[in-house]
Chain A
């Protein structure tokens, strides 16, 4: 048994450094079915799956788990998850559904996301979903249905404390400096830290190499190669775990930092071409077009400039998706009000949203608010 398996946390209090996330999960479970699902996201090894299991244990609930090794297609989901979400649990315990690694649902079984959404809408048990990157386009329809909670990577200090606790339990003594090195190298991935600890204690000769490259470093390198060099671009994206769609967002964000005028124009047209092929993939499931998307967003971007160049550019992480999400949070009430109003007046929610400012004075009438059965927080939104 690996150390990581052996020392999986069992109680909330075992999960050092995650107090806020734990609070969010407890609130979610106690308020269920106010929200049907909670989406825990964060880098690998931060304890998302562990937290789900701990939550089940603390609530005396049975856990029903699906991970990415299960075929995530619609038929399979329907078979497994659906009866589970409606059935009473075998021993009359509570039940929690765990959908692990939701971003492992690849494009080909995209029906899986649609089905998951359906299940969230129908479930009579709380659902915990985990994922590394929840900002992908394909997960967009999922996000509004879930409470989103980020599991932040642990600080090296916390990891180190955790490691020395484990050593104490195992009855071994380790040099604090050695533990610190492992902690730093782990970049907050507790599972990796424990595995390393185990490996190093078996074979002392392996040097601890704290220079493990992380994901973001690799995307910065990719951007540099893409924008400044002009070679090897076809294999460029093979070295990263980021999906083409994520890379596209990074490129989109950073084109104007690198290119001006004609290059800017050409680069965005290449990106536009990439997006057209992506649209065709989405609509017609024509996966061959992925090839074209890849070429346009690599070679297309690289050749937008006349010559290779080398200047220093500070690249930034994509902001758009986050901005949209934050805006949606801010205007969530506007949307729910519009939905209620739209139903009453036989009109689309989109049109109501567009005309919202004209409608606002109408919606401020108390009688109309009562007729539409607006909640107090929606009424507050209208009078603010």
Chain B
């Protein structure tokens, strides 16, 4: 069984009609596009719900065959700092758009990864080039975007996809790729993708690359490969008073799985409730976790902050008051 294409791309909706689960947004965006004059847009919502897809459809509808010349895609979480963003925007916006539409479109993905200062700078950039450029920003939480930017954009909130939406997408792929999908697969896919359509498609393709007969068990095996690594071991070491091992394990996990400090904090916060300790202590540990998450945002070295958190788990394990 060979696969010739990346399915998330092959089956990415190319026209408004194909987008699933966001009917209201699609309706409004489409009427904006038909007027050939879109405002700045802000797409807020979880991963894999169609934000990038909708941006791509918009530029295809606007520019037709010349969309590639008139469209720039940047990812804020990958670009190093606002300077890069500004320079690229400047270079792109300097030349006139091709075709009937008097502006170009810049899609800034994961805009919530920009710091507040960077967003302030971005706001100026948006103002300076507003005649020649329209921005589409995407983010997971609109609360992470500063008000002045939000007020310059029309905000659309994308919903998490429902089970039936994911199932319909997967069914279509199954037919086209001649897969034999067992009925329990859809449930498993929805569970492990958490409504993230990109992830669901990746899971089905990864599974299908092994065998065209797909079932829940296989999906679960594949998806467990990228489950957030076992933070529990780290916490167990810390609670047992072994700071050195806790620290070493933590660094290993972070390096091996390429996870950032902020994701470690999220995992710890979830794991605290599964610990075998008094509820009171859980509450205290949660408080510390929140404090460290805040410090991480303010500080410069997330591993220093995580060590401070591990130290408080060591204290808790010794029954010392926090």
Residues of A bordering B, CB below 8 Å: 114, 137, 141, 248, 252, 255-256, 261-262, 264-265, 267-269, 271-272, 275-276, 278-280, 282-284, 320, 323-324, 327, 331, 334, 341-342, 344-351, 353-362, 364-368, 371
Contact B6 A275 (CB under 8 A): no
Q: How many Cβ-Cβ contacts under 8 Å join chain A to chain B? A: 160
Contact B315 A262 (CB under 8 A): yes
**B71-84 interface bits toward A, Cβ cutoff 8 Å, 1 = contact, 0 = none:** 00101011011010
Which of chain A's residues has its CB closest to B255's CB?
A327
Contact partner of A265 (CB less than 8 A), chosen from B298, B300, B314, is B314
A-B contact pairs, 20 of them (CB 8 A): A137-B301, A248-B304, A261-B314, A264-B243, A264-B314, A265-B315, A268-B311, A278-B299, A279-B299, A324-B255, A341-B6, A348-B109, A348-B110, A354-B226, A355-B226, A358-B203, A362-B202, A364-B209, A365-B4, A368-B6
Given A276-B295, A320-B303, A365-B3, residue A271 in contact with residue B320 (CB < 8 A): no
Known: A276-B298, A279-B298, A356-B258. 6 other contacts (CB 8 A): A268-B304, A271-B307, A342-B75, A345-B8, A365-B209, A371-B5
Chain A residue numbers with a CB within 8 Å of B225 are 357-358
Contact A276 B299 (CB under 8 A): yes
Given A265-B312, A283-B115, A356-B258, residue A272 in contact with residue B305 (CB < 8 A): yes
A-B pairs, 8 with minimum CB distance: A279-B300, A357-B225, A272-B308, A367-B4, A268-B308, A279-B299, A275-B299, A268-B311
Contact B255 A347 (CB under 8 A): no
CA distance A282 to B243 in the complex (A): 29
Contact A323 B226 (CB under 8 A): no
CA distance A126 to B5 in the complex (A): 39
Chain A residue numbers with a CB within 8 Å of B202 are 355, 358-359, 362
B214 interface hit (Cβ, 8 Å): no
**B208-250 interface bits toward A, Cβ cutoff 8 Å, 1 = contact, 0 = none:** 0110000000000011011000000000000001011001000
Given A323-B255, A348-B109, residue A362 in contact with residue B304 (CB < 8 A): no
Contact B226 A278 (CB under 8 A): no
Chain A residue numbers with a CB within 8 Å of B260 are 350
Min CB distance B31 to A, Å, is: 24
Chain A residue numbers with a CB within 8 Å of B52 are 346-347
Which of chain B's residues has its CB closest to A251's CB?
B304
CA distance A261 to B315 in the complex (A): 6
Min CB distance A317 to B, Å, is: 15
Given A354-B257, A355-B199, A356-B226, residue A346 in contact with residue B304 (CB < 8 A): no
Min CB distance B210 to A, Å, is: 7
Min CB distance B14 to A, Å, is: 13
Chain A residue numbers with a CB within 8 Å of B304 are 248, 252, 268, 271-272, 275
Contact B308 A351 (CB under 8 A): no
Contact partner of B78 (CB less than 8 A), chosen from A341, A349, A362, is A349
Given A256-B243, A272-B295, residue A278 in contact with residue B300 (CB < 8 A): yes
Contact B312 A368 (CB under 8 A): no
Chain A residue numbers with a CB within 8 Å of B244 are 256
Given A368-B3, A368-B4, residue A358 in contact with residue B223 (CB < 8 A): yes
B146 interface hit (Cβ, 8 Å): no
Chain A residue numbers with a CB within 8 Å of B247 are 256
Chain B residue numbers with a CB within 8 Å of A355 are 199, 202, 226
Chain A residue numbers with a CB within 8 Å of B86 are none
Given A261-B320, A282-B300, residue A347 in contact with residue B198 (CB < 8 A): yes
Contact A346 B209 (CB under 8 A): no
Min CB distance A342 to B, Å, is: 7
Given A265-B314, A331-B258, residue A349 in contact with residue B206 (CB < 8 A): no
